[in-house]
Chain A
Amino acid sequence: MSEQTHQFGLMEMSAIREMSNIGLGHATTALANMTGKSFNMEIPNVETVALEQVPLMMGNPEEVAVGICMPIEGDITGHTAFLFPWESAQDLWRMLIGTAPETPGDIDELSASVMLEIGNIVSSSFLNAISDMSNLKLHATPPMVSVDLVYTIAASIVAEAEMDEAIALALETRLYGMDDCATTGYFLCVPTLSGLNQLFRALGIAEAA
Chain B
Amino acid sequence: MSTGTQLLVGMADIKVAKGPATFTCLGLGSCIGLVAFDEQADVCGMVHIMLPEAFKDKPVDKIGKFANTGVPAMIAEMEKLGANPSRMVMALAGGAQVFKFGSAASSRLDVGARNAEATLEILRGMRAKISAQDTGGSSGRTMIVKSDTGVVTVRTVHGGETELCCLRRGRRSAAA
The answer to whether A binds B is yes
Residues of chain A at the chain B interface (Cβ within 8 Å): 2-4, 50-52, 55-56, 61-62, 64, 67, 69, 71, 104-105, 107, 112-113, 115-116, 141-153, 155-156, 158-160, 162-164, 166
Q: Which residue of A lies closest to B140 (CB)?
A: A152
Residues of chain B at the chain A interface (Cβ within 8 Å): 10-13, 26-31, 50-51, 55, 58-59, 61-62, 65, 96, 98-105, 108-109, 111-112, 114-115, 138-140, 142, 157-158
Measured between beta carbons, the chain A residues less than 8 angstroms from B103 are 142
Measured between beta carbons, the chain A residues less than 8 angstroms from B100 are 144-146
A163:B111 contact, CB within 8 angstroms: yes
User: Assuming the A-B contacts A61-B26, A153-B98, A159-B111, are A50 and B157 also in contact, with contact meaning beta carbons closer than 8 angstroms in the complex?
Assistant: no
Which of the residues B27, B50, B96, B112 comes within 8 Å of A61, measured between beta carbons?
B27
Chain B binding site: helix, strand, loop or mixed by DSSP? Answer: loop
Which of the residues B50, B98, B109 comes within 8 Å of A146, measured between beta carbons?
B98
A163:B51 contact, CB within 8 angstroms: yes
Which of the residues A52, A62, A152 comes within 8 Å of B98, measured between beta carbons?
A152
Measured between beta carbons, the chain B residues less than 8 angstroms from A3 are 61-62
Measured between beta carbons, the chain B residues less than 8 angstroms from A113 are 101
Complex: A180 Cα to B7 Cα, angstroms: 41
What total of A-B pairs shows CB separation below 8 Å? 126
Measured between beta carbons, the chain A residues less than 8 angstroms from B50 are 52, 155, 158-159, 162
Measured between beta carbons, the chain A residues less than 8 angstroms from B114 are 163
A143:B102 contact, CB within 8 angstroms: yes
Query: Chain A's nearest CB lies how many Å from the CB of B100?
Result: 7
Which of the residues B99, B102, B157 comes within 8 Å of A64, measured between beta carbons?
B157
A160:B26 contact, CB within 8 angstroms: no
A149:B101 contact, CB within 8 angstroms: no
User: Assuming the A-B contacts A142-B103, A145-B99, A155-B31, are A50 and B62 also in contact, with contact meaning beta carbons closer than 8 angstroms in the complex?
Assistant: yes
